[in-house]
A and B are shown apart, each in its own frame.
Chain A
Amino acid sequence: MKHPYRELIIAMTRTGILGFGGGPSVIPLIRHEAVSKFKWIDDDEFGEILAIANALPGPIATKMSAYLGHKVKGVPGAVVATAAHILPTCVAMAALFAAVNVLSHSKIVSGMIGAVTPVIAVMLGIMAYEFGQKALKGFGLLAGVLFFILAFLGLQVFSIHPGIIVILFLTYGAFHFKLKRKAAREKDKGVSAS
């Protein structure tokens, strides 16, 4: 990392300007910069940040910018990363104060947003696939699929708040390896007894 501040500014400005459609659409972009491009964190840590950011209130993208900035360069890094992420569009917003009516009904603007939406959908889909694969690798096929179904039921069918689902899964996760070890030991006992 030769120019940590410059990297932070490049990455966070880019994601801020290209992330159309509010917080969630920017997640794959931030992942690309933080994990694939600049390698500030690995994918596991990214998943962890994302989950915990989801469990806390407030905008997602600014929480993630602040964390990445902090990770790279402490508090000043957090300030620089968040500012780089939000300032360009915030300034545009204040500057366009007068042009509100014209722009929000522009055909060109709505065409641009329309065309970029499927791209965002694909990026999110790819992320879903990759995190799904990781879950299957960690849990094994059976337990992995069971957890998918549980998460889906909670989030979509019963519309439980994502924050609560994340907290429930984290709580289970805290005991996962302990339970696994216990299960393995019992199996050993069963085998040696027979």
Chain B
Amino acid sequence: MIIFYLFWAFFIANLLGYGGGPASIPLNFEEVVQHFHWLSKEEFSNMLALANALPGPIATKIAAYVGYSVLGWPGVFIALIATVLPSAIALVLLLKLIGRYRQSPVVKGMTLAVQPVIAVMMLILTWEIGGDAIRSIGMVQSLVIALISLAALTKFRVHPAFLIVAAFAYGGLVIPLL
């Protein structure tokens, strides 16, 4: 029975979590803490802090952690399947349908019309994440790192991975000493 509950909790939380991983956090909280009492409030917030400190999608990290604490490794597997599978299948099917009509002016128009929305969404995210950066390491450091990144990515065509590793090295070695 617990297998079914575990599946159900993560299926529902991610199905209703509209707008990507972070949007599903409150819904996960609702299922995991309020409804099924798998974690206490405090455990949940500690888990969230850890999840934020690790890379990768947040929703699957939460699922792995809660799944493990409820049922060990099988729990990890079930919670992950429930989180990932439904929306992945939906996306693949929908895009297959669109792909079949790729040459039609209808689909071409749709592809074009969505570009300004993506541009604006990215712009808003840039603004928000820039704000996070300034709050966390201050204006000067944020701007210097941002300018270096901009030059490296657009002028010198550095692979983003190098840039991220360099930023980690700086953040892990230099920032704690400041």
Which A residues fall within an 8 A CB radius of B? 14, 16-29, 32, 44, 47-54, 56-67, 70, 78, 82, 85-86, 88-94, 96-97, 99-101, 103-129, 131-132, 134-135, 138-139, 144, 147-148, 150-152, 155-156, 161-163, 165-166, 169-170, 172-178
A97 to B69 CA separation, bound complex (whole angstroms): 8
A96–B122 touching, CB < 8 Å:
no
A99 to B53 CA separation, bound complex (whole angstroms): 12
Known contacts A21-B52, A63-B88, A131-B119; 7 additional CB pairs below 8 A are A23-B20, A58-B20, A86-B60, A111-B176, A116-B168, A117-B137, A152-B120
The interface centre, meaning the residue of B51, B52, B83, B113 with most chain A CB atoms within 10 A of its CB, is: B113
B112 contacts partner chain A, Cβ-Cβ < 8 Å: yes
- Prevailing SS type, chain A contact patch: helix
Q: How far is the CB of A91 from chain B (nearest CB, A)?
A: 8
Q: How far is the CB of B92 from chain A (nearest CB, A)?
A: 5
A56–B87 touching, CB < 8 Å:
yes
Chain B residue numbers with a CB within 8 Å of A107 are 175-176
Chain B residue numbers with a CB within 8 Å of A124 are 122, 125-126, 129
Tell me the nearest residue of chain B to A130, going by C-beta: B119
B154–A88 touching, CB < 8 Å:
no
Partner of B114 from the list A51, A70, A127 (CB cut-off 8 Å) is A51
A103–B53 touching, CB < 8 Å:
yes
B159 contacts partner chain A, Cβ-Cβ < 8 Å: yes
B95 contacts partner chain A, Cβ-Cβ < 8 Å: yes
Chain B residue numbers with a CB within 8 Å of A156 are 120, 124
B58–A115 touching, CB < 8 Å:
no
